[in-house]
Structures are given as C-alpha cells and as structure tokens.
Amino acid sequence: MQRHKEKSAVVIPVLLRPCDNTHADFMKLQGLPKDFKPVTTWLNQDEAFTDIARGIRAVAEEIRNPK
C-alpha cells in the first residue's frame, strides 16, 4: 500500500471469497471483479475471472499509455 501511495506500484485488490474486509486499507481502492463481488458468489465464475482479466488489462494499458 505504501508503494501504491508513492505511485511506484499499482495495487488491484481481487476478492476471491467473501471475507470481513470492511476495515482493510485496500477497500479504499477500486477492486475486482465488478462491484467487488467475490468470485465464489458469481453464478458463472468464468465471467468473474474474465471481468478480472479485463480490469487488469485496462490498468496495464493505462500504465503503458498514460493520457
């Protein structure tokens, strides 16, 4: 999280299972998958993983080609 604050790294939280994360520092960040809904709660987990891959790709492209 320190490196994220310093902009020397990008932290992308990925929620795989439901957990008590309400007080975690990373909850201030944009997490994946969509709506930060845990992967195991999706009816189609492949869709959740696809959403995660798209989100990570978008961040990587933004790093590679900043606006």
SS3 content of the chain, % helix, strand, coil (to 5): 50, 5, 45
| Tokens coding 25 | 């520092």
29, 54, 61, 16: CA torsion to nearest 10: 40
Q: What global pTM score does this model have?
A: 0.88
**For the chain (length 67 residues), average pLDDT per consecutive 10?**
90 95 87 96 98 97 90
pLDDT digits (tens, 9 = 90+) for 35-53: 999 999 999 999 999 999 9
Q: Which residue has the tokens 């929620």?
A: 15
Q: How far apart are CA 27 and CA 41, in angstroms?
A: 18
Contact 18, 40 (CB under 8 A): yes
Residue 66 is predicted with a pLDDT of 86
